[in-house]
Amino acid sequence: MIHPNIIFILILFISYLIGSFPTSIIVGRALRGIDIREHGSGNAGGTNIFRVLGWKPALFVVLFDIFKGWLPAAYLAKLYFEATLLPDLGLFQVLCGFAAVLGHTYTVFAGFKGGKGVGTLAGMLIALFPVAVPLCILVFVITLIFTGYVSIGSMIASTSLPILLLLLPIIGIEPAELSLLIFSLLVPFFMIYTHRSNISRLRNGTENQFEKAMIFKKKS
């Protein structure tokens, strides 16, 4: 019989491998024979696919990246929880989901250079607390409309997550598990870390801006 600790480590590793699937890199090579990390912003994610290849490939990449975060948290964690020694399913779901996020960000299949982890993190949150996801997306969209920067939208949306988890029970939504609430406090720091190159470009004025998203911007 396999020891529970070995099962725990094995499931986390499998979750990491699922997250590591380099969706955008494969799409870039399949459609145009390029390494997407050498074009546009240099990021291996849906936003850069949109810039370089268009919205259809980007939509596929985003949806698949979301699935990569959802599968370990929603399925693997529940399937193997009883075989571990963990007392809390929510904690195991958080660990499996975040392992997938780390896999996306530091993919073993592409020299540990992946995307920012936003889509995969969203998939994980859909599995754990789906009510918060549309609200975080709303924060992202509003920020994008007013600033034109995907990076700023992602960071502000991640910052809104723990605030939303604390406020939603006030209007009658079932409170998030403690493990998810604690994890949500760490999410903004992770997003800021993965967007550190974007922050540098924002400071020197070279960050890519989606001006078409700025629907309230006055035409010159």
CA distance 176 to 129: 7
Residue 42 banded pLDDT, cuts 50, 70, 90: confident
Question: Does residue 216 surpass a pLDDT of 80?
Answer: no
Share of residues in the chain with pLDDT > 90 (%): 82
pLDDT of residue 40: 85
Where do the structural domains in the chain lie, given as residue ranges?
Answer: 1-127, 129-220
Closest to 42 measured CA to CA, from 31, 56, 32, 52: 52
CA–CA separation, 180 vs 90, rounded Å? 7
Give me the pLDDT at residue 213, please.
Answer: 80
pLDDT per position as a tens digit, 79-102: 999 999 888 899 999 999 999 999
Angle between helices 118-128 and 89-105 (to 10 degrees): 170
Tens of pLDDT, residues 164-185: 999 999 999 999 989 999 999 9
d(CA 62, CA 45): 8
Instruction: Identify which of 140, 147, 146, 158 has the alpha carbon closest to the alpha carbon of residue 202.
Output: 147
- Run of H or E including 198: helix 196-204
